[in-house]
Structure 1
Amino acid sequence: MNNVQGLDRFIRALVGVLALLLAYFWLGGVWQWVALGVGAVALATAAFRFCPLYAVLGWRKAATPARGSGVMPLLAGAVLVAVAVGGAWASQMFSRKFFLEDFNAMNGFYKQTLFLTGKAEREKAVDQYERLLPAYAAFQKKYTAWQPLALRGDPQFPGDLARVSGIFQGVNDLVRTGDLQQAHLALEGVRPVFQEVFKRNGFSMLSVTLVDFHDAMELMLEAGTAKDAAKLQALYPQVNDKMKAVEAEASDADIQTIRQNLDALLKAAQDAQTDALPQRADQLKTSFVKVYLQRG
């Protein structure tokens, strides 16, 4: 005998949909299985209009449907579909957003540590490194236990997190008392790991394009410092393509400054102004570092 009717049935269906959305998009581990169980039970009792607990307790005997009430089931169904579709879309979008926010919060300490080790400023580097370690440990713990949908199909991701953790732990002595340049070079290995994570999983973000540009730009900077105008001109097309990708993500004043400095470096090379190349290269690097530290 049916013992779930009307509003009770709608609430069960709504709870079931919300529980499944939570389980699929937001939860991991034991809580994910709990939410899946709640969602499945709620939807099953709503679909079959029968609750075993009600039957045991003798509650909610079947009611006779009122005439002319056919509109209400259609309205309830439309609401449930809207919740399911809208909830899935919002969950996918916001779970990606929150992941990127968590990453950027942790990555800020990494970028500062990388920058300061490169500048041989030990005291400041140690301070940022000590902030980085717990921030990354929390990030790794959270996203090892649970991945947003965008990363869930990536079997390499947990291994990448462990690999980065190994790099961070491995430079401990170098950052604190050892060779800061060696620490800097080791820390450089973190960027391509996350770059590949983002590329594999379809993230379109400024930081990915900035990292791509940086790797190509470094070759031009070396050529500029060495006053090698021919090599610099040969490298420009590749670097220009990377810069176009950055501009596709953002084209504000800071990005335009990078573009201006990049083209100024090329022009100095084309005009055989070899003595000006190191200064132009330094201007390009400075404008890039400003953007990368703030938004990369």
Structure 2
Amino acid sequence: MESLGIWAFGGLAIATIVANALFQSRFRASLALAPRLRAEPETTASLPTVSVIVPAYNEAINLRPCVKSVVKSELPDPTRLQVIVADDESTDDTAAIAHALAAEDSRVLAFTVPPRPTEVPWQGKNWACANAVEKATGDYLLFIDADVRLEPGAIAIALADAQRTGADLLSCAPSIVCGCLTEWLVQPIVIAMIAVGFDFTPVNDPAQPDKAFAAGPFMLFRRSAYDHIGGHRAVATTALEDVTLARRIKAAGLRLRYVLAGDPVKVRMYQDFAALWEGWTKNFYLGANR
């Protein structure tokens, strides 16, 4: 009986190893086939103006390093960059930090959004984004989350990529940064599970308008396309505004491009286990109910 148990345990261990190897193989294959953010060197010589919009609610920890990474962007003409921080009525020091950043760099504009109208149940960051757009002057609008960190060349590469491909919405899946043991144990597994089953081809195919996806942490719109689909005001009541905006882009006959960002765009999604659990639970729940 004891030997039977040993054999059973050994068989289970071998099966687990084989299954993990197959899973990792499929994961690597998925990544190898995925399109990536890229730009030809000569296309970055002349770039359009861009307004980077950072909606922020209780982001006192993240806001300064996020905005600092944006203003350090390497662009042919740094004056063609505008950064807008929209404080969404935070209860921590977010507003004070935002205004301090604006005082340090004239390209940064900080403001607190007005109270949300009661007649419309605005969800998530939609209200902050909609108000920020009214202050934007760029030919392109780049929406990023406060937990995003950009490498100096990220914006130039993204703008050049969008122009080269004719993308009206370029969204990038960022690299995930893990800062604690819990994140290292959970994040790679969850991301790998999502990546294995994800097919970029139909998402990027204009002939399949019903297939659309985008990643909220990094969404670069051509301003005219954003206005054409109604922007965040048109998706005010949805919590999955990124995917809904992507669907509206394709439904309007505009060009959607979704790629892996690689090192230029990084995000640390959750700072601790409680935030990680709440975040992924919400994401999976919302995704399952789409």
| Smaller-chain TM-score bracket | under 0.3
Length-normalised TM-score, structure 2: 0.26
Computing the radius of gyration from Cα coordinates, the structure with the larger value is 1
Length-normalised TM-score, structure 1: 0.26
Name whichever structure is richer in strand by fraction: 2
